[in-house]
Amino acid sequence: MAESNRKPEDRERDWAPTQDRDQATAFWVMAPGRGALRTETLAPLQAGEVEVRTCYTGISRGTEGLVFRGEVPPSQFDCMRAPFQAGEFPAPVKYGYINVGQVEAGPDELRGRLVFCLYPHQTRYRVPATAVHPLPPAVPAARAVLAAHLETALNGLWDAAPRLGDRIAVIGAGAVGCLSAWLAARIPGCQVELIDTNPDRAHLASALGVRFCTPAQASGDADLVIHASGNPAGLVTALALAGFEATVLELSWFGSHAVALPLGEAFHQRRLLLRSSQVGSVASAQRPRWDQRRRLNLALHLLSEPALEILITGESGFTELPALLAKLARAPDDTILQRVRYE
């Protein structure tokens, strides 16, 4: 890792743009429920590394909300570390993994390229060249902020292993749920329902080519149910919609919150399979041939579809991040994916 592991100065600084390429400003969670922008000095650029000027970052609302509120359980501190995280849970911590920028220094073949990197919210950074992923020509930088969520959905579909013609229910019309439904609908013969308690999200399903319904309208008897609502009630609905010997795939992560399920009802009689999926490991069926780099490159190429931009429902400036994360972590609203713009 090229960037120094030293923490920035304990004193929080007011941020202002700088022309000094050895200086960068990043968003830190200073304490549960409180964020700040902090300036730090970058480690010198080494051979085989790149310097990236950030154009956009994205907010992974579910995971970053848990981090911002200090709800990562201690047992998960190590496995929840982001690739270029600084600091420790619960705080102070620099966390994030959706960064799109332009390479300004480094190997000739990368200089000037737009790239995706699993890096936190920071104006400029230096990392090994192998850590960045050049964007395909058909994918604009502003759309590439969806890459991490699409990679999660892709890995989830691999874990779920849907078959041709399956009836598939996807619960939760957030970014991961919508992208899971979009991918599933591309499998010939599959009938896909995107299920959400908010009827105002019906236009998302229409744009992605799937049927929308509320839980009360769902067809049921599904061959596969993918749960991505982040709400325990959604997982209860998933069990109710699953058909005989169907798979219920859990894509939500609840952090330190316990989840109660009605396993004394039809769960055993219907011989349901409840399976977890997590993007930190490549799905077991693909693992002998795929690594995380190949998987992320596939996600980036799939982002050539312009219709996916409907999932980017807001854009804010970098200086707004402390107030913005506090707002997004505090209460639900209509935000799917929030894009952060860097000057």
What pTM was computed for the model? 0.91
In b/e form, how buried is each residue of 73-102, taking b as 16+ CB within 10 angstroms? eeeeeeebebebbbbebbbbbbbbbbbbbb
Rounded CA separation 303/301 (Å): 5
pLDDT at position 230: 87
pLDDT at position 10: 38
Q: How far separated are the first and last CA of the chain, in Å rounded? A: 25
Instruction: Map out the domains of the chain as residue ranges.
Output: 23-143+306-341, 149-276
User: Each residue of 166-221: pLDDT tens digit?
Assistant: 999 999 999 999 999 999 999 999 999 999 999 999 999 999 999 999 999 999 99
Secondary structure of 261-328 as H, E, C letters: CCCCCCCCCCCCEEEECCCCCCCCCCCCCCCHHHHHHHHHHHCCCHHHHHHEEEEEEHHHHHHHHHHH
**Type and span of the H or E element at 234:** helix 232-241
**Alpha-carbon torsion (81, 85, 88, 89), positive or negative:** negative
Is the pLDDT reported for residue 128 higher than 80? yes
pLDDT at position 20: 84
Tokens of 171: 């619960």
Rounded CA separation 227/148 (Å): 18
What are the residues whose beta carbons fall under 8 Å from the beta carbon of 65, sequence distance 6 or more? 325, 328, 329
pLDDT at position 190: 98
Is the pLDDT reported for residue 7 higher than 60? no
Q: Considering the chain, what is the average pLDDT of its residues?
A: 92
Rounded CA separation 343/337 (Å): 20
Is the pLDDT reported for residue 14 higher than 70? no
> In this structure, which amino acid lies at residue 217?
Q
User: Each residue of 210-264: pLDDT tens digit?
Assistant: 999 999 999 999 999 999 998 999 999 999 999 999 999 999 987 777 788 888 8
Is the pLDDT reported for residue 6 higher than 80? no
pLDDT at position 19: 67
User: Each residue of 27-48: pLDDT tens digit?
Assistant: 999 999 999 999 999 999 999 9
Mean pLDDT of the region 68-80: 92
User: Each residue of 302-318: pLDDT tens digit?
Assistant: 999 999 999 999 999 99
pLDDT at position 44: 97
Q: Is 216 helix (H, G, I), strand (E, B) or coil?
A: helix
Mean pLDDT of the region 256-277: 88
Q: Are the folds of 23-143+306-341 and 149-276 the same?
A: no
Choose between 6 and 173: higher pLDDT: 173
Which of 3.90.180.10, 3.20.20.450, 3.30.43.10, 3.90.1010.10 would CATH assign to domain 23-143+306-341? 3.90.180.10
Say what the alpha-carbon torsion angle 199, 203, 205, 208 is, to the nearest 10 degrees.
-170
User: Each residue of 92-120: pLDDT tens digit?
Assistant: 999 999 999 999 999 999 999 999 999 99
Sort residue 54 into left (φ over 0), alpha (ψ -120 to 50) or beta. beta
**Type and span of the H or E element at 94:** strand 93-94
The share of the chain scoring above pLDDT 90, in percent, equals: 83
Confidence of residue 336 (pLDDT cuts 50, 70, 90): very high
Range 149-276 classified under CATH 3.40.50.720: yes
Rounded CA separation 110/314 (Å): 30
User: Each residue of 277-306: pLDDT tens digit?
Assistant: 999 899 999 999 999 999 999 999 999 999
pLDDT at position 17: 55
